[in-house]
Structure 1
Amino acid sequence: MKGSARPNAQAMPQGTQVCIGLSIMSGILLAVIQPPVSLWFLAYGALIPLLYALEGCSSNHRPFFLGFVTGVVSYLGLIYWVVVAMNTYGGIDIFTSTLILVLFVLYLSLYTGFFAALVSLLETRLSVPVYLSAPILWALLEYLRGVALTGFPWSFLAHSQYTFLSFIQIVSITGTYFISFLIACVNCIIYCMATGKRISRAYAGAVCAVIAICLVYGVDRLKEVDEGNLKTAIVQGNIRQDVKWDEAFKARTVALYCEKTIQAGDDVDLVVWPETAMPFIFDDEPYAREYVKNLSSRVSTNVLFGTIWKDARGRFYNSSYILGRRGEVAGIYNKEHLVPFGEYTPLVAYLPILASLTAQGSGFSSGGVHEPIVTDMGKIGILICYEGVFPYITNETVRRGAQVLVNLTNDAWYERTSAPFQHFAFYIFRAIETDRYVLRSANTGISAIIDPRGRIKEKTPIFEERILKGTFSLRNGLTFYVRHGDFFVLLALISLLVMVSVRCFAILRSRR
């Protein structure tokens, strides 16, 4: 028709259904890149459908909605196991458990919603290219998600690369958020190239150069092999969650761990049992206490195990004990970072109704500090349950002198879902970031010995009784990341503020 506009050969999708479909596609990709599916290579294109959908938005509110849809889809696929934990073992009915999952997913999806909204806003109002804003915003929002409301740094873009060891060695300098930033950069470059959008060649070249430097650094760092000069035996008791706290099963639990320890032999330096391996107040059970202490002296080794400790004021702690070679208590560590609605109820004094959303077996107090325990063998840093998900905790523990990191956990709550596999992946990063061996004892798996380069020396399957034996070493150096923390996040924030300020100033000048 004469005078009509000529259609753009590279026109972006305008239909609402198409945009929502693309957002859903990004959500699916963000889920399947994580363990146990672990299609890690798809991470480098997981954001492209969402970015493509944002380009076709015709209203101001739609970008947030599209990002929110991506978040809902991805988090439903990633943390569906919340229902299993709450309903099967937490004593919460299926309706309330599902409600908790939905509310949690909606909260987490706000971050992808704001990501999409801010990327769109910066491009349409300030003409900031997507390839400049998106990687920075993604990294900053991951950081915010990891610290806000006690934090939930679960399944970041970077965590999908936990097997790509040569690439992620750089986290010993930059931290994990830098890997997420680089992955988002690659997404933006591919997106711009695929859609014909202009992109700075210098930018694309710089990103490729940085990735190449990371790989060279990683390959060189992986040349160092520390076989370890100390021996450990990690006991995976495989105690089902439905009998773990049963009084009638208590004696059998104690006997099982003691028998496995004796089977491990007396030629080990450290025996590790999982979180709450002794599912009672250890000091209030004289028979079990003396039995375990005698075991430690009998096999002449240090025994580290999880249990419950009660202080003089009657407060309970999710704790770990280390018994020395003569059966003496070398030290006690009390878990500091508790799981909200799992181990304590936040704001319950102001909102009593929240108590109904909390799993049975909660009511723990926080230990307060991340101090390693000093033994005749060395300084042992302990991470109970998901404390190792937080890099600042491992950094603080190592700065305080920890020479090896030990994670005690009980993932029996989650049955055979994706949670145990997702949880395990974080400790690859903690080992590399801190340059420390990580010894992991999980009640139902995955137990493992991870070397300071993130290599898995030994690993168990889930839901099997196992004794995992191997070697480790004590290390003393501090990585750049341990010394300086998440400096990259600060640099990213400054870069964003400078970028926005420059564009605002340019727009104001043009209007004069």
Structure 2
Amino acid sequence: MNYILPIFSGILTGLAMPGNLFSFLIWFSVAPFLYSFSKSKGTFERLLKVFLYAYSLMFTTLWWEIPVLSKNIPEVINSFPGYIGILSFLLMILILTIPYYIIWLLGELYFRKSRVINLKSLVLFSTFSYASAEILKQFGDLAFTGGNLSDALYLHTGLLQILPFTGTIGLSILILIVNSILAFTREKRKYAIVIIGIIYLINFTIAEKLPFVKTNDNAMKVSVFQTNVPQEVKYSDNTWSSYVEISNYLQENNDNTDLLILPEAVFIRDIRDTEIFRIIQEAVKLSEKNWIIGFPTVDLEKKEYYNSAIYLNKNGEIEKIYNKIKLMPFAEFLPYENIFKIFSFFKLVNYYTQGNEYTVLDNKFSVQICFETYFPEVSRNFVKNGAQFLIAITNDGWFSHKTALIQHFSKSVFRAAENRRTFVQVSNTGITGVIDKYGRIVDTLPIKTYASQNYYIPLETKQTIYNKYANVIIVLILFLAIIFSLI
């Protein structure tokens, strides 16, 4: 029973994640782990319980990666057999447990022999030690913020209004406080149920009172294009086949909009010196609008490859290029090469060089690429540089299950609410949609369809408290985690 509780707790928490089962589970799913961890009899037992909880959590959250790694990618790029993908998934989950060991380390400080444990100190320790683990998940070459407790509440619009002040970590702390009360106050657990009821009442009340977002005179009218090009076509050697898949829309798109947004990796090679690109430039001129289109670019002098978003003005000229800053480990770059060299077969096309500029386009908006929505700092830096609304382009065609698409899209919800910016996500297969500055999902296109839509996007200029002081909040939480482990 000692080790069943952490596994059960991790599975239950994973089932609360977007696209899995019920978000309501998050209010009590962590409690069994916190209780079991507090009852551990020694260092090894605490360490093993953290491992079992974190592994079962991440496995249950990311189960959809199994068909991606064992079937979808091997069938397209044909570089490794399916069973290698399954083994790699198991190792990936192992790596993703690393940040959670801060709970164990802090636990060694807290559960020392001289410690006098009381309810208040136990709740504060449990809350902030776990919160510190979610903070650490943002940093390093293996960083990944999937499976954060706050993810479960991406549709709880009223509660999302804490994000402009604290970011998602504030939401996670609220969840942890409720779970801690459930874990450590058996005779008073009825109060936790009351607290959850009050939280849901607050969520509903705030969501109902949020104002309608008006489009002002400076709003931009944008077109989004969900291309739905199969990965088999995109990653073939024939670049023309990708163009043929989207050419009808490009020729017929005569809507009176300011900007057309296409997904990441419309082409998987640099097409700037090709006939296809010259045809696209002519299409841009005829459309009389600016375009954003994603494809890799190459710096021939430096022999460097980038995953890029290209901004074409109405004359068909390349005005700016944004190079992706947060690259996907193993697929887009090889982290800690001396350790992980044997996993280079996961490279999709090329290893990319990290970009270094948070580019604002047309002094109004910025584009982030795919995986970057998992990192709050990317959106924050764009807003600090003057972005008045945010765009993400992504290539989610690898994912067979809708759960993966929902988990990815949920991150855009958080980035919108944190920064009080409208967020537009454009994917080749979905989810393509618009989220307003309060984190409300305004509209989404049907997934895995060839579709387009026009939207009016309001412009915002104010910065949130979180946007200005996120680094202070991060340091404060890590400091409190240490303090509550010692006192």
Q: What is the TM-score of this pair, normalised by structure 1?
A: 0.85
Give, in whole Å, the separation in 2 of the partners of 1:246 and 1:364: 19
1:347 maps to a residue whose letter is Y
Aligned CA-pair RMSD? 2.8
1:145 maps to a residue whose letter is K
Task: Quote the residue 1:460 is aligned against.
Answer: 445
The counterpart of 1:384, out of the listed 354, 369, 387, is: 369
Query: Are the aligned partners of 2:134 and 2:145 in contact in 1 as well (CA < 8 Å)?
Result: yes
Once the two structures are TM-superposed, the CA of residue 63 in structure 1 deviates from its matched residue by 2.1
Instruction: Give aligned pairs, total.
Output: 474
Q: What SS is found at the alignment partner of 1:341?
A: coil
Give, in whole Å, the separation in 1 of the partners of 2:107 and 2:350: 40
Once the two structures are TM-superposed, the CA of residue 118 in structure 1 deviates from its matched residue by 3.8
Query: Are the aligned partners of 1:237 and 1:466 in contact in 2 as well (CA < 8 Å)?
Result: yes
Give, in whole Å, the separation in 2 of the partners of 1:469 and 1:230: 10
1:142 paired with 2:131, answer no
Query: Are the aligned partners of 1:26 and 1:48 in contact in 2 as well (CA < 8 Å)?
Result: yes
Q: What SS is found at the alignment partner of 1:172?
A: helix
1:171 maps to a residue whose letter is L
Once the two structures are TM-superposed, the CA of residue 425 in structure 1 deviates from its matched residue by 0.3
Give, in whole Å, the separation in 2 of the partners of 1:384 and 1:36: 22
Once the two structures are TM-superposed, the CA of residue 212 in structure 1 deviates from its matched residue by 9.4
Task: Quote the residue 1:180 is aligned against.
Answer: 172
The counterpart of 1:101, out of the listed 89, 113, 118, is: 89
Task: Quote the residue 1:479 is aligned against.
Answer: 464
The counterpart of 2:236, out of the listed 226, 231, 246, is: 246
Task: Quote the residue 2:50 is aligned against.
Answer: 67
Q: Deviations over 1:130-175 (max 9, x none)?
A: 2110110111111112213341111210111000010011111111
Task: Quote the residue 2:424 is aligned against.
Answer: 439
Give, in whole Å, the separation in 2 of the partners of 1:471 and 1:263: 20
1:435 maps to a residue whose letter is R
Q: Where do residues 306-321 of structure 1 align in structure 2 (5 Å cutoff)?
A: 306-311=294-299, 312-321=301-310
Q: Deviations over 1:233-291 (max 9, x none)?
A: 2111111112212133x324224334224444331111111001133212121x11111
Once the two structures are TM-superposed, the CA of residue 40 in structure 1 deviates from its matched residue by 1.2
Task: Quote the residue 1:267 is aligned against.
Answer: 256
Q: What SS is found at the alignment partner of 1:388?
A: helix
1:232 paired with 2:222, answer yes
Query: Are the aligned partners of 1:170 and 1:217 in contact in 2 as well (CA < 8 Å)?
Result: no
Q: Deviations over 1:73-99 (max 9, x none)?
A: 121122233343334315322232222
Task: Quote the residue 1:57 is aligned against.
Answer: 40
Q: What is the TM-score of this pair, normalised by structure 2?
A: 0.89
Structure-2 change in CA distance of 1:221 and 1:357 (3 Å): farther
Task: Quote the residue 1:10 is aligned against.
Answer: none
Q: Where do residues 59-208 of structure 1 align in structure 2 (5 Å cutoff)?
A: 59-87=42-70, 88-89=72-73, 91-115=79-103, 118-119=106-107, 122-123=110-111, 125=113, 126-128=115-117, 129-194=121-186
Q: What SS is found at the alignment partner of 2:296?
A: strand
Give, in whole Å, the separation in 2 of the partners of 1:217 and 1:479: 22
Give, in whole Å, the separation in 1 of the partners of 2:282 and 2:151: 42
Once the two structures are TM-superposed, the CA of residue 120 in structure 1 deviates from its matched residue by 7.2
Q: Deviations over 1:207-236 (max 9, x none)?
A: 999969985995487224234632222111
Query: Are the aligned partners of 1:257 and 1:273 in contact in 2 as well (CA < 8 Å)?
Result: no
Larger C-alpha radius of gyration, 1 or 2?
1
1:169 maps to a residue whose letter is Q
1:289 paired with 2:277, answer yes
Once the two structures are TM-superposed, the CA of residue 355 in structure 1 deviates from its matched residue by 4.8
Once the two structures are TM-superposed, the CA of residue 373 in structure 1 deviates from its matched residue by 1.9
Worse-matched range after superposition: 147-156 or 124-133: 124-133
Give, in whole Å, the separation in 2 of the partners of 1:353 and 1:483: 39
Task: Quote the residue 2:433 is aligned against.
Answer: 448
Query: Are the aligned partners of 1:385 and 1:407 in contact in 2 as well (CA < 8 Å)?
Result: yes
Worse-matched range after superposition: 161-170 or 226-235: 226-235
Give, in whole Å, the separation in 2 of the partners of 1:46 and 1:120: 23
Query: Are the aligned partners of 1:182 and 1:211 in contact in 2 as well (CA < 8 Å)?
Result: no
Task: Quote the residue 2:328 is aligned against.
Answer: 339
2:22 maps to a residue whose letter is L
Structure-2 change in CA distance of 1:172 and 1:335 (3 Å): same
Once the two structures are TM-superposed, the CA of residue 29 in structure 1 deviates from its matched residue by 1.2
Query: Are the aligned partners of 1:28 and 1:74 in contact in 2 as well (CA < 8 Å)?
Result: yes
Runs of at least 5 residues in structure 2 that lack an aligned partner in the other structure: none
The share of aligned pairs that are identical, in percent, is 24
Q: What SS is found at the alignment partner of 1:274?
A: coil
Query: Are the aligned partners of 2:50 and 2:104 in contact in 1 as well (CA < 8 Å)?
Result: yes
1:42 paired with 2:34, answer no
1:354 maps to a residue whose letter is I
Give, in whole Å, the separation in 2 of the partners of 1:261 and 1:435: 32
Structure-2 change in CA distance of 1:212 and 1:236 (3 Å): closer
Task: Quote the residue 1:469 is aligned against.
Answer: 454
Give, in whole Å, the separation in 1 of the partners of 2:451 and 2:59: 32
Q: What SS is found at the alignment partner of 1:468?
A: strand
Give, in whole Å, the separation in 2 of the partners of 1:39 and 1:30: 10
Structure-2 change in CA distance of 1:314 and 1:55 (3 Å): closer
Worse-matched range after superposition: 113-122 or 68-77: 113-122
1:245 maps to a residue whose letter is Y
1:489 paired with 2:474, answer yes
Structure-2 change in CA distance of 1:214 and 1:430 (3 Å): farther
Query: Are the aligned partners of 2:132 and 2:481 in contact in 1 as well (CA < 8 Å)?
Result: no
- The answer to which structure, 1 or 2, has the higher relative contact order (CA under 8 A, 6+ apart) is 2
Once the two structures are TM-superposed, the CA of residue 301 in structure 1 deviates from its matched residue by 1.0
Give, in whole Å, the separation in 2 of the partners of 1:413 and 1:266: 30
